[in-house]
Structure 1
Amino acid sequence: MWKVLLVEDQAIVRQGLKVILEQDEDIKVTHEASNGAEAIEILQKYSIDFVMMDVRMPVMNGLEATRIIKKQWPAVKILILTTFNDDEYAMQALKEGANGFLLKTADSGKLIDAVYSCMSGGLTIHDEVAAKVLPRLLRREKKETVSVYLSPRELSITKLIGEGKTNKEIADELYLSIGTVKNHLTQVLQKTGLRDRTQLAIYAVKHDI
């Protein structure tokens, strides 16, 4: 069962999200916070698998909290859930290491699917946001060239990660074991000097892989 921390300054919204998420037997909301600073305090004391984070909050906003959490607890998955369809927020969140960016207009099924996607290594971006963010990344960075050598297999895996595929989906598509995919992913991250698959997904888009 995944232990979830909800970070949202409106209590009634937290209650609603908890009800939705706990419809799934593999998801348990173990802690709640009303801002990023409280979230960090909780992570210092308890084991958390997944953080669902608002952006605009008092004391410490979600983007700053994401940056700190990803630096101190890189294995923790973070999904940004916000009212604001703002591509700047989305790009900054992904830059800080968030594993997904979803709008609060998403239905309950999509919310639960996003948890599963993030926990399995996928990158979830709300369709409306992706439609604005990905073209910006392509326009701004498309002419960059890959500065490190990646083997054909590593390039294939990087391309699929850029498409938001999970390790299992990549393994199925390339007829590899999940362990082999993980090994290749580790090599690619070492070669590129990137922190995690979220950064690698952005790298793949920037470099037109």
Structure 2
Amino acid sequence: MWRVLLVEDQAIVRQGLKVILEQDENIKVTHEAENGAEAIEVLQKCAIDFIMMDVRMPVMNGIEATRIIKRDWPNVKILILTTFNDDEYAVQALREGANGFLLKTADSAKLIEAVYSCMQGGLTLHDEVAAKVMPKLLQNRQKETITVDLSPRELSITKLVGEGKTNKEIASELFLSIGTVKNHITQILHKTGLRDRTQLAIYAVKHDI
């Protein structure tokens, strides 16, 4: 069962999200926080697998919290959830290592699907957000060239990561085991000097892989 931390300054919203998420037997909301600073306090004391976090909050916002959490707890998955359809927030969140960006207009099925996607290594972007974010990530991509030596297999995997595919989906498409895909991604991250899978997805888009 995945242990979930909800970070949202409005209690009624947290309660609604908890009810929705716990409809799935694999999801348990174990902790709640009203801002990014409280979220970090929770992580210092408790084991958390997944964080669903608002962007605009008092004390510490979601972008700043994501930066700190991904630095100190890189394996924790973070889905940014907001009412603000703002491409700049999405770009910042992804650059700081968020595993997805979803609008609060998403239905309950989409929320649960997003948790699964993030936990399985995918990159979740709300359609409306993706339509605005991708052009920003693609800007000036022709000026950037690949300076690391990736094998054809590594390039194929990088391309699929850039498409938001999970390890399971990549393994199925390339006829590999999930373990082999994970090993390849680890090697790719080492070669490129990137921190995590989200940065690799952005790297793939920027370099038109």
Residue 12 (structure 1) aligns with: 12
TM-score, normalised relative to structure 1: 0.99
Offset at residue 142 of structure 1 (A): 3.5
Specify the code of the residue in structure 2 equivalent to 1:120. Q
Residue 96 (structure 1) aligns with: 96
d(CA) in 1 for partners of 2:168, 2:46: 29
d(CA) in 2 for partners of 1:142, 1:173: 28
Offset at residue 136 of structure 1 (A): 1.6
The residue correspondences of 1:51-70 to structure 2 (distance < 5 A) are 51-70=51-70
Offset at residue 7 of structure 1 (A): 0.1
C-alpha RMSD of the superposition: 0.6
Offset at residue 143 of structure 1 (A): 2.7
- Please give the per-residue CA displacement for 1:82-126, whole angstroms capped at 9, x wherever unaligned: 000000000000000000000000000000000000000000000
SS of the equivalent of 1:6 reads strand
- Please give the per-residue CA displacement for 1:45-88, whole angstroms capped at 9, x wherever unaligned: 00000000000000000000000000000000000000000000
Percent same amino acid among aligned pairs?
Answer: 85
d(CA) in 2 for partners of 1:61, 1:179: 36
TM-score, normalised relative to structure 2: 0.99
d(CA) in 2 for partners of 1:142, 1:14: 43
Residue 128 (structure 2) aligns with: 128
d(CA) in 2 for partners of 1:194, 1:82: 27
Unaligned runs of 5+ in 1: none
Specify the code of the residue in structure 1 equivalent to 2:179. G
Offset at residue 141 of structure 1 (A): 2.6
The residue correspondences of 1:159-178 to structure 2 (distance < 5 A) are 159-178=159-178
d(CA) in 2 for partners of 1:78, 1:142: 30
Unaligned runs of 5+ in 2: none
Residue 74 (structure 1) aligns with: 74
SS of the equivalent of 1:142 reads helix
Specify the code of the residue in structure 1 equivalent to 2:102. L
d(CA) in 2 for partners of 1:35, 1:10: 10
Structure 1: which 4+ aligned runs deviate by more than 4 Å? none
- Please give the per-residue CA displacement for 1:159-207, whole angstroms capped at 9, x wherever unaligned: 0000000000000000111111111111100000001110000000000
The residue correspondences of 1:1-209 to structure 2 (distance < 5 A) are 1-209=1-209
- Please give the per-residue CA displacement for 1:123-176, whole angstroms capped at 9, x wherever unaligned: 000000101111121123333111101000000000000000000000000011
d(CA) in 2 for partners of 1:115, 1:69: 18
